[in-house]
Structure 1
Amino acid sequence: MKQRFSELGLDRWRAEAGLLDETERAILRRRERLFIAWKAGKGILLLPLSTFRQLLNLVFLLADVERLHGAPRRRMIAGRGCVIDRQTWLVNGDSIELGDHVKVSAFSALVAGAEAKIMIGDYTILGPGVFVVAANHGIAKDGGIPIRYQAWNEKPVHIGSNVWIGANAVILPGSRIGDGAVIGAGAVVRGEVPPGCIAYSRGAGLNVRERQ
């Protein structure tokens, strides 16, 4: 019979299967009591440190929620009846404008520029994981400045009223989506989608057709 705590499960199975004699069963019961005492002692010793770490992690988590959601949301312009799930990421809230009854679903991101705005009309729905961005990093090779620190290139994004944007769609800087349009799940939009049309990805391109 194994003597390590890590083998307790196997030895319990052996006892239930009748593979241990009385002496081995007594040793197993003693090891189980020692294991319980060891776990309890370890928990008591580590509880203060564990509690401190959990509190510290909670503070960092709340700080991130405030930075990425709370503060930008308070600065943005939003109409009546808007719903913005807490699991959304908002950047430059001063440059985000929502009409009435807009729905932004969980895990979406609205990344406005310092000046370039994201404007969304009334009754528009953004599905889960939608990414709307009005600014991209510069990617110039010359100058010796890493991409991480290059200035943003900004272009405003206009999304009309009564638009439905499917899950995980990406709306790139400078895009303009007309009223009543539907953007398919996973589509990448760059440029203009006319009012009342459906746009969806097929292969490397974006297909656009009239809504029926």
Structure 2
Amino acid sequence: MHRLVLATRNAHKVTELRSILADAGITAELVGADAFPEVGDVKETGVTFAENALLKARALAAATRLPAVADDSGLCVDVLGGAPGIFSARWAGRHGDDRANLELLLAQLADVSDPHRGAHFACAAALVLPDGTERVTEGRLRGTLRHAPAGAGGFGYDPILQPDGDTRTCAELSPAEKNAISHRGLAFRALAAEIAAMPTSSSR
């Protein structure tokens, strides 16, 4: 069995990625960055999702000497020229305040009519091995932004993005339904073959 460290302290992401990789046939032990409290947080100084994902994966691989996977993802709103983008998690000023981020975005789009509320979730997934091998894959989920949140599932901006072809928001989908179409699911399934091909790593 492979042991992979996931470069996040977000419990929602750890749970989601365990499910995505399991569905893709990866029998990996996936542990979050919380398993290595001595490793500090990585500053996301990149200007693209791919750059930030690689920064986090490289830091965890170097610190733990284990294969590391990381993602950087966000919401890209058409009428805002792709914003919040890489700033999605701190759009309202404080990193990880989902409610404040969502409320600010809805206020900014209050006067935007439905035909112009197109947006997509974007995700870059990175795999970095201790020997320096790197791989990045990407995924997108297109949809339309609701005027008010709906649904109790998911996290982040899930309650306001309605995927194309559905009548529900991402927060109203079951975890399995969401993983099947999500930006993160697409990116990490594309990365699954790279993970499966890794040599077995010893546990630390």
- TM category (shorter chain) comes to under 0.3
Choose between structure 1 and 2: higher helix proportion. 2
Larger Rg: 1
TM-score where L is the length of structure 1: 0.22
- RCO higher in 1 or 2 (8 Å CA, sep ≥ 6)? 2
